[in-house]
């Protein structure tokens, strides 16, 4: 696993090509597009492929993350063929360890991340079960109404000394106002930010994006 002074950064729920390219120019590591139809940040296949295609042309090193939930293998297979394909698929539903392992084996050119909604600290045990089935684990705060993008945060004390055999990402209510507390308490491989950086669902406030990245960079300098 990569050793680093500061976490890698993913900005998720992007819906506009121009914003995706601007965010890419700021030095983020990954950009996420939502493929869950009931999400206010959902992007249809045509628009998703166009956005990813522009990233392939202009920022090929950035991870292109397609966030899905409970899709069938045929739908997933179709989504990673053709133009404008993702380099990472983030499984945000009730996908089993067996399914994750099957997808990882069948499509080794894609990275597979499993997102888990954590309701209580004991739920972190569930995350451990996925370590041999995926390339990374993403921890998000549980919500009764939504799979993600709620702005809810996990208690930072749950994350102290948290270690997995694969990289782990932290999502949920992340912005420049809380990143110092998060990084002083836990050591995630990656930070996944979305709703707290928005003007409205799917439209990012670029000043908030820049503020978050600046705080993370400052943490790297001070570490």
What string of DSSP letters covers 132-145?
TT-SEEEEEE--SS
| Assigned domain for 150 exists | yes
Lowest mean pLDDT across 30-39, 69-78, 212-221: 212-221
Burial of 25 (0-12, 13-18, 19+ CB in 10 A): exposed
| Residue 217, in any domain of the structure | yes
Instruction: Note whether residue 105 is domain-resident.
Output: yes
Instruction: Answer whether residue 71 is part of any domain.
Output: yes
Residues 187-220, buried b or exposed e (16+ Cβ, 10 A)? bbbbbbbbbbbbeeebebeeebbebbbebbeebe
Query: How many structural domains does the chain have?
Result: 1
Whether 1 is in a domain gets the answer: no
Boundaries of domain holding 187: 8-222
Residue 49 lies in a domain: yes
Question: Mind listing the pLDDT tens digit for each residue in 68-126?
Answer: 999 999 999 999 999 999 999 999 999 999 999 999 999 999 999 999 999 888 888 88
Higher per-residue pLDDT: 109 or 4: 109
**Size of the chain, expressed as the number of residues it contains:** 223
Domain contains 2: no
Residue 142 pLDDT: 64
CATH assignment of the domain containing 125: 3.20.20.70
Instruction: Identify whether 19 is part of a domain.
Output: yes
Q: Which residue has the tokens 């998720």?
A: 12
The predicted pLDDT at position 5 comes to 63
Q: Of 1-10, 74-83, 123-132, 204-213, which gets the smallest average pLDDT? A: 1-10
Q: Parallel, antiparallel, or unpaired for β 203-204 and 88-91?
A: unpaired
């Amino acid at each position: 696993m990569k050793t680093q002074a500061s976490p890698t950064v993913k900005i998720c729920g992007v819906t506009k090509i121009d914003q995706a390219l601007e965010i890419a120019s700021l030095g983020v590591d990954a950009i996420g597009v939502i493929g869950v139809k009931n999400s206010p940040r959902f992007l249809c296949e045509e628009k998703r492929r166009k956005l990813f295609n522009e990233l392939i042309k202009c920022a090929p090193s950035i991870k292109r993350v397609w966030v899905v939930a409970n899709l069938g293998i045929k739908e997933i297979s179709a989504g990673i063929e053709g133009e404008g394909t993702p380099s990472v698929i983030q499984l945000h539903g009730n996908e089993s360890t067996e399914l994750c392992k099957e997808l990882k084996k069948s499509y080794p050119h894609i990275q597979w991340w499993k997102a888990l909604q954590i309701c209580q600290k004991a739920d972190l045990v569930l995350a451990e079960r996925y370590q041999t089935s995926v390339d990374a684990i993403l921890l998000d705060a549980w919500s009764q109404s939504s799979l993600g993008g709620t702005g809810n945060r996990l208690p930072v004390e749950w994350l102290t000394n948290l270690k997995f055999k694969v990289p782990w990402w932290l999502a949920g209510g992340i912005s420049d106002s809380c990143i110092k507390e998060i990084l002083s308490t836990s050591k995630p491989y990656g930070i996944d930010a979305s709703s707290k950086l928005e003007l409205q669902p799917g439209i990012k406030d670029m000043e908030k994006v820049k503020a978050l990245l600046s705080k993370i960079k400052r943490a790297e300098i001070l570490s």
